[in-house]
Structure 1
Amino acid sequence: MRKISILVERAAYGAFLVGVSSGVVMTMLIFISTLMRYLGGRPLRFSDELAGLLFLTLTFLCLPHVLDKGRHIRIEILMKVVSAPVARIMDAVGAMTLIVFCIAFAYEALDFVEFAKSISSRADISGILLWPWMAVMPFSMLMCILVQFRHGVHQPAPNRSIEEDVI
């Protein structure tokens, strides 16, 4: 079981690195396109489409790692005003809600990917094949489910305080 937990952690981290890399490429693409627009008079014509796809990749591939490290957005004020047993129940309800959401999202996204693949959907200007980019969404949700199972019925707790992140 420990090996599976480590495998899920490493897969989430690997997806995170790919997501961050796509963010770097997206930033460079927008920078180059902006330079070309103002210095050369013409931007890269496909930059907007590709930047959007890279942003999708950045967003969805970073989710599992952020969830694994407990660094996602949460509303902790309620957890602090209720008793410990009620807080544990709320934590479990939150974990179950996440799993149900991820299953529903992955199911719908997978249908979307299959449809896009069946019609060979492509971006308007650049002609980039879209279904591989869309496949990031169900993959991300399935990774989030595995991360949640790794932590059980509890939400992953952040390993550092917010103050440490600021410093």
Structure 2
Amino acid sequence: MSLVSTFIDKGLKRSALFLAILSALSLVAILVVIVASVVLRKFFDAPLFFAEELVGLLMSASLFLALPMATIKGQHIRVTLLIDSLKARIPFVAQAISTLGILVGLGFCGWILWEAIPWMEFAIKRELKSETARILLYPLMSVVPVSMALCCIIYFARLLGFIKLEER
């Protein structure tokens, strides 16, 4: 593996790991909010009024923050029956199908990124806030373009051969 490939591979894996750690922290925050709300409801008859809203926002952020790690490790839901059966008999067809899968992933992530940027810009300009707790939405909404951009870069690097899909 060349120096450039190693640099790109490590950089993308570390970036994905950083976002995955943020995803795990948002899951911990969900747990803390739910436990606090339940304890306050049980003992003080005063649950956190913003718990459901915050948990929903954190869950969405967690999903998108974890997506680059799933992309770089190839841990999406995949049906490998066709590719596995073709690898031994017709390797170039299996490679073509894998390349097509990368192109579909790149196209999908690129499309979501294209749609998410104006959506986030609108939220920033209007300073949109959640309905109940009045939580600013654009910090959480910025997770989508960041995550999708990193997924696009991962797919593009895989397409160019800078990173390989880890075999399971």
Same fold (TM > 0.5): yes
C-alpha displacement of 1:75 = 1.0
Aligned-partner SS, 1:157: coil
Unpaired runs of 5+ residues, structure 2, are none
Return 87-96 or 148-157, whichever deviates more. Answer: 148-157
Determine if contact 1:26/1:51 at 8 Å carries over to the other structure. Answer: yes
Runs of at least 5 residues in structure 1 that lack an aligned partner in the other structure? 161-167
Asked if 1 retains the 8 angstrom alpha-carbon contact of 2:158 and 2:165, the reply is no
CA distance in 2, matches of 1:41, 1:70: 46
Matching residue of 2:165: 157
Aligned to 2:118, which of 111, 130, 152?
A: 111
Q: Percent identity?
A: 30
Q: CA RMSD in A?
A: 1.8
8 Å contact 1:26–1:54 — kept in the other structure? Answer: yes
Q: What TM-score comes out, normalization by structure 2 length?
A: 0.87
Match of 2:137 in 1: 130
Q: Deviations over 1:30-60 (max 9, x none)?
A: 1221222233222101111111111111100
Structure 2 residue corresponding to 1:93, chosen from 96, 100, 121: 100
Bigger shift: residues 23-32 or 34-43: 34-43
Name the TM-score, length of structure 1 as normaliser. Answer: 0.87
Superposition map of 1:1-167 within 5 A: 1=4, 2-82=6-86, 83-152=90-159, 157-160=165-168
Cα gap change, 1:67 to 1:27, in 2 (>3 Å)? same
List 4+ stretches of structure 1 deviating above 4 A: 153-156
- Cα separation, partners in 2 of 1:38 and 1:73, compared to 1, 3 Å: same
